[in-house]
Copies of this chain bind each other. A is one copy, B any other.
């Protein structure tokens, strides 16, 4: 077994494991102590949020388990052909090192197993209620929260299974698209069952503009607009966006898991802000608790706190497994996540945001992914040629990454040209143009004859097309960063993406609690 540990995965941190395990078990067992028939005097006072404390314990356990499970199962994955060459290493596609693929699967299984074991904790007050009066215990059971929890788990499990099937069988693009949609069905049905909110709050200015043009949606005098079924379409698209946007911001060691980790931590931080542990002044400054908007009233009812606690139960262990996986996926990667991890993590983010009613805040945490997606649109939709891999190019001499290029043998069509020139103007791509006279003499005969046989005869072209675009950098955030920050080491590039993700999360908090209170007033969900 130890030889596998050496061969596959980085060596697990022994000291950290030995430190975290006892802490984790203490955090998990402590809330259970009042259930035991122990004399009261030897019990410490029960924690304020017993399930949350256990959740922190589960998060640590999630980390430790993830760190240890990856090396143990890697051999089995490699034996089944689930391995890929690390393209950004010496040798690349041909002789680059083999790395086990799809290790998102054990990670997701470990996470879901933990989440199942966690079920009794948020619902454990029935244990004590039962002892005194069984009918009270039954009525007090938080049925609704359990339903939310189960439906989220169901969505997660579906995403994991379908993600793994995708990794294994390489499902075609058009069959793949409905995967997050199907996986989201349980979550959405429960959202509906819950009396699902379908209204959004508009900024004051937009709201008065809509009213001024005669449309009068929603309640008069309020900025709330009920979108009805349109809101469900938005909620269906959300998982498609969260899963795929992580999936396309990929290609270098550690970058998928790092994004997922930072997003999970950002969500957790946002959730913690809603817990009733902060002094009032601090919250008012953040834009919370504007009394005349009824915010505090809703708060007092505990509804919002409950939702954000439920969200924390999901994202804390998620952050744990992502960090644990990152241990092995970090440069030089000893494990690849596969689509499984992206589907699984993306679905988890969507599910908790839908259940927690903070989908718009969630989208704010995806700023780098949105940027990457928008930048990719011309290639995804065929406006610009899209090669099989768009990940950066490895330069074995300097051990650095350079932007990868898409080459144009023939001068690209007008729509491509306009797109690329616009992007170049915005500094998003770097274009290489041909010098017509030089190119004609330098071109190998084959290319030249091709060009002459092509649709563009060179003699009667207008002057502007004599210099045409020969190549462009691929349209991803990774290549964009390499264009501007020069050749970078793989690890540096990953750290840079992480830093940008963190900065964007900071920006998201600014928008949500700074700009948001200006634009929306205090009336937000």
- Asked if A186 meets B120 with Cβ closer than 8 Å, knowing A109-B161, A143-B143, A146-B193, the reply is no
* Cβ-neighbour of A154 out of B76, B150, B169 (below 8 A): B150
On whether the beta carbons of B153 and A123 are closer than 8 Å, the reply is no
Q: Is A299 an interface residue (CB 8 A)?
A: no
Residues of B near A112 (CB, < 8 A) are 158
Q: What B residues does A153 contact at CB under 8 A?
A: 154, 186
Chain B residues with CB below 8 A from A158, complex form: 112, 116, 157
Tell me the minimal C-beta distance from A138 to chain B in angstroms.
5
- For chain A, residues 124 to 174, give those with C-beta under 8 angstroms from any C-beta of chain B: 126, 134, 138, 141, 143-144, 146-147, 150-151, 153-154, 157-158, 160-162, 164-165, 168-169
Q: Does A80 contact B (CB under 8 A)?
A: yes
Complex-state Cα separation, A186 to B149, whole angstroms: 11
- Assembly of this chain: how many copies? 2
Q: With A and B bound together, what is the CA distance between A196 and B270 in angstroms?
A: 37
Total residues of chain A contacting the partner, CB 8 A: 41
Q: Does A500 contact B (CB under 8 A)?
A: no
Residues B189 and A119 in contact, CB atoms below 8 Å apart: yes
Cα distance, A452 to B76, chains bound together (Å): 43
Indicate if A190 sits at the interface (CB-CB under 8 A): yes
- The answer to whether A117 has its CB under 8 Å from any CB of chain B is yes
A193 in contact with B154 (CB, 8 Å): no
Chain B residue nearest in CB terms to A157: B157
**Do A143 and B193 touch across chains, with their CB atoms under 8 A apart?**
yes
A433-475 vs B, Cβ < 8 Å mask (1 yes, 0 no): 0000000000000000000000000000000000000000000
Q: Are A141 and B193 in contact (CB under 8 A)?
A: yes
Give the CA-CA distance A153 to B157 in the complex, in Å: 10
CA distance A112 to B158 in the complex (A): 9
| Interface pair B182/A146, CB less than 8 Å apart | no
Cα–Cα distance between A165 and B340 once the two chains are bound (Å): 14
Interface 0/1 of A86-119, CB less than 8 Å to B: 0000000000000000000100010011001101
Q: In the complex the two chains form, what is the Cα distance from A141 to B196 in whole Å?
A: 13
Interface residue A229 (Cβ < 8 Å from any Cβ of B): no
- Whole-angstrom CA separation of A73 from B80 in the bound complex: 19
Contacts of A186 in B (CB 8 A): 116, 119, 150, 153
Can you list the 7 inter-chain pairs with the closest CB atoms, starting with the nearest? A150-B150, A138-B195, A76-B169, A157-B157, A116-B185, A119-B189, A143-B143
